[in-house]
C-alpha cells in the first residue's frame, strides 16, 4: 500500500491547490479607516455627486444627546449586494438610436462606466413587448406552440446593440435579468396581450419553454442572462401588456412548469425571481409560494416595485422586513420603479430624486440585495410608449437637439451605484436624528460607504462616529451625501 500513498497525497495536494486557485478571492490591504471623502448632491446648489469635503476621524468618546450622530458598526454584516442598475427597454434603446454618436457614447458611459459615470452593475430587460415598446410583438408566429419560428430579430435592431454597448462600458460583464409582460395573445384566455387575461393551461409548458428559448438565444449572441422574473406585475390588469397570476397560480406554474423546465434545460443556475409587483401584497405572495417546498426550491428571490402608492399608501417597507425575517434564505430585489405622469415642466423637480433616495435607503435597510430602476433613458415626451403611459427616467433625450437632460434622480442613484460595488455587504448604521436617514456598506476592498439622506428644509451638523472616533459633517437641506471611509 505504501508505494501508492505518496502519489495519492501528491494527487490530493494538486486537487486542493487547484480548488484553492478557483476560489481565491482578491486580497486587499485593510484600510486604516482614518480618512472620509464626502460626495454631495443638494438642492439649490451646483453640487451633483460633487466632492465636497475630505475629513479625518479623530478620537471621540461617548456622544452627548445634544450631539447629532451617524453611527457605523462594521462588525455587523447583513445581506450581500448583487448590483444596482436599470432597465434597457425598447423605449430606451430606440431613443438612444435617435441621438448623435457622441451623445450615445455619453449616455452609455454616464451609466455604465465606473470611472466616467455611475457604474451600473445590473440590467433588466423585457421579454416580448411591454408598454415601453413602440408596438406589441412576440418572438414567434401565431399558434406556434412548438416555438419553431422563435427568433429575436426584433431586438437586434436597437435593444441588443445597446445592451452590448453597456456591457462593454462596464468592463465586459454585466448581469442581466429578463421579465415578461405577457405571453403571446393566442396563449391567453382573452386572446389579447393587453388587458390582463390568464395563461391557458394547455400552453403552460410552451410558455415555460419560451423563457428557455429567449435565454439561450440571447446567450448565443454573447449576452449572458443572470436571472428572470416569472411575470411583471401579475396582479395588474393594465391597458398595456399584462397577464394575471394569483399567488397559487404563480406557485403552481413555478413548481410544475418553469422550475423543472429550467432545470431540465441546464439553466438551474439562473436566478428565478417571483412576484415582481408592489410591496403591498409581497408577504402574501411570499408565504404562498415559499411555504411550498416544491416551489420554493426553484425560487432564488422575490422582486418588488414601489407603486403601492397608487392606493394612497406610503411605501410599505415593513412588508419587506417581514418577508426578510420570515424567509432569510431568499433574496429581495427591487425590480422596478419610476416617477409616473411625465411633464417636461417638472423635469427639474427635486422630489423626483428624493423619491429614489428615500426608497433606496429604506429598501437596503430592509434587506434588499439588488435595486433596479425602470427605463434608463426616455425621450422628451416620456416615451416612446405605445399606450400613452409616459413616465420620467433619470435621463431624458431631446431627440430634436440631440442633447441629454439629466434629472436629479440620476445623481441620487449614483450616490449608491457609483460607490457600492457588487459583492459589498450592508453593515450596521443608525442616525440619532430623524432628519437624517442612513444606510452603510463595506465593499470587497474594505472601504466603507455611508449614505446620508436629508429630506428636510434644515441644515444639520452631525458627527460620523466609528469605533470611538468621529468627524464633523454638515448635511445640507434636501441633500444626499456619500461618505467613503478608508
Question: Could you tell me if 130 and 181 are in contact, meaning their C-beta atoms sit under 8 angstroms apart?
Answer: yes
Q: Is 336 a catalytic residue?
A: yes
Cα separation of the two ends of the chain: 56
Q: Is 233 a catalytic residue?
A: yes
The enclosing H or E element of 420 equals none
| Residue-by-residue DSSP string for 54-100 | EEE-EE--SPPTTS-EEEEEEEEEEEEP-EEEEE--HHHHHHHHTS-
Q: Which of 94, 233, 250, 308 is catalytic?
A: 233
The residues, any chain, with a CB within 8 Å of residue 9's CB and separated by 6 or more, are none
Distance of alpha carbon 370 from alpha carbon 363, whole angstroms: 9
CA angle 412, 330, 418 (to 5 degrees): 20
Distance of alpha carbon 313 from alpha carbon 434, whole angstroms: 21
User: How far apart, in Å, are the Cα atoms of 168 and each of 112, 161, 311, 377, 410?
Assistant: 9, 11, 41, 18, 21
* Helix then strand then coil, % of the chain, to nearest 5: 35, 25, 40
**Where are the strands (E) in 181-270, listed by range?**
227-229
Question: Could you tell me if 197 and 190 are in contact, meaning their C-beta atoms sit under 8 angstroms apart?
Answer: yes
Which three cell numbers mark 316? 410599505
Residue 293 burial class via C-beta count within 10 angstroms: exposed 0-12, middle 13-18, buried 19 and up: exposed
Distance of alpha carbon 453 from alpha carbon 175, whole angstroms: 28
Residues across the chain: 486
Question: Could you tell me if 478 and 354 are in contact, meaning their C-beta atoms sit under 8 angstroms apart?
Answer: yes
The residues, any chain, with a CB within 8 Å of residue 231's CB and separated by 6 or more, are 179, 180, 243, 245, 250, 276
Collapsing DSSP to helix, strand or coil, 483 comes out as: strand
Dihedral (CA of 74, 76, 77, 79) sign:
negative
Among 480, 472, 484, which Cα is nearest to 456's? 480
Distance of alpha carbon 320 from alpha carbon 207, whole angstroms: 30
Question: Could you tell me if 438 and 429 are in contact, meaning their C-beta atoms sit under 8 angstroms apart?
Answer: yes
Residue 475 burial class via C-beta count within 10 angstroms: exposed 0-12, middle 13-18, buried 19 and up: buried
341 alpha carbon, distance to own chain's centre:
22
Q: Which of 94, 250, 336, 354 is catalytic?
A: 336
Active site residues: 233, 336
Amino acid at each position: 500500500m505504501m508505494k501508492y500513498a505518496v502519489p495519492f497525497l501528491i494527487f490530493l495536494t494538486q486537487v486542493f491547490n487547484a480548488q484553492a486557485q478557483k476560489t481565491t478571492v482578491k486580497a486587499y490591504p485593510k484600510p486604516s479607516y482614518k480618512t472620509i471623502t464626502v460626495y454631495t448632491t443638494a438642492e439649490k446648489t451646483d453640487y451633483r455627486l460633487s466632492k465636497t469635503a475630505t475629513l479625518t476621524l479623530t478620537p471621540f468618546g461617548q456622544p452627548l444627546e445634544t450631539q447629532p450622530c451617524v453611527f457605523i458598526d462594521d462588525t455587523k454584516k447583513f445581506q450581500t449586494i448583487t448590483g444596482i442598475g436599470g432597465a434597457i427597454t425598447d423605449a430606451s434603446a430606440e431613443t438612444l438610436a435617435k441621438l448623435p454618436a457622441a451623445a450615445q457614447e455619453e449616455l452609455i458611459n454616464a451609466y455604465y462606466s465606473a470611472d466616467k459615470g455611475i457604474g451600473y452593475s445590473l440590467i433588466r430587460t423585457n421579454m416580448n413587448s411591454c408598454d415601453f415598446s413602440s408596438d406589441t410583438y412576440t418572438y414567434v408566429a401565431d399558434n406556434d406552440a412548438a416555438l419553431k419560428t422563435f427568433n429575436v430579430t426584433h431586438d437586434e435592431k436597437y435593444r441588443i446593440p445597446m445592451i452590448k454597448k453597456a456591457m462593454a462600458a462596464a468592463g465586459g460583464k454585466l448581469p442581466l435579468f429578463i421579465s415578461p409582460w405577457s405571453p403571446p395573445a393566442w396563449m391567453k384566455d382573452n386572446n389579447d396581450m393587453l388587458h390582463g387575461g390568464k395563461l391557458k393551461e394547455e400552453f403552460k409548458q410552451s410558455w415555460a419553454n419560451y423563457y428557455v428559448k429567449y435565454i439561450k438565444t440571447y446567450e448565443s449572441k454573447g449576452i449572458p442572462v443572470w436571472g428572470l422574473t416569472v411575470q411583471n406585475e401579475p396582479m395588474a390588469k393594465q391597458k398595456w401588456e399584462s397577464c394575471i397570476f394569483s399567488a397559487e397560480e404563480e406557485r403552481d406554474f413555478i413548481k410544475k412548469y418553469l422550475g423543472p423546465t429550467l432545470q431540465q434545460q441546464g439553466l438551474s443556475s439562473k436566478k428565478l425571481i417571483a412576484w415582481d409587483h408592489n410591496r403591498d401584497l409581497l408577504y402574501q405572495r411570499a408565504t404562498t409560494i415559499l411555504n411550498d417546498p416544491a416551489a420554493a426550491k426553484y425560487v432564488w428571490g422575490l422582486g418588488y416595485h414601489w407603486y403601492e402608492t397608487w392606493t394612497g399608501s406610503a411605501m410599505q417597507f415593513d412588508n419587506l422586513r417581514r418577508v426578510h425575517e420570515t424567509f432569510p434564505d431568499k433574496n429581495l430585489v427591487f425590480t422596478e420603479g419610476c416617477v409616473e405622469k411625465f411633464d417636461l415642466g417638472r423635469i427639474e423637480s427635486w422630489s423626483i430624486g428624493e423619491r429614489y433616495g428615500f426608497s433606496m435607503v429604506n429598501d437596503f435597510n430592509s434587506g434588499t440585495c439588488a435595486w433596479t430602476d425602470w427605463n434608463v433613458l426616455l425621450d422628451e415626451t416620456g416615451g416612446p410608449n405605445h399606450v400613452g403611459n409616459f413616465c420620467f427616467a433619470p435621463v431624458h433625450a431631446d431627440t430634436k437637439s440631440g442633447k441629454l437632460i439629466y434629472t436629479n434622480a440620476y445623481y441620487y442613484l449614483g450616490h449608491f451605484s457609483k460607490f457600492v460595488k457588487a459583492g459589498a455587504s450592508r453593515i450596521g448604521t443608525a442616525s440619532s436624528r430623524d432628519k437624517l436617514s442612513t444606510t452603510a456598506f463595506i465593499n470587497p476592498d474594505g472601504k466603507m460607504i455611508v449614505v446620508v439622506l436629508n429630506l428636510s428644509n434644515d441644515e444639520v451638523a452631525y458627527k460620523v462616529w466609528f469605533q470611538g472616533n468621529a468627524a464633523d459633517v454638515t448635511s445640507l437641506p434636501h441633500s444626499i451625501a456619500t461618505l467613503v471611509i478608508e
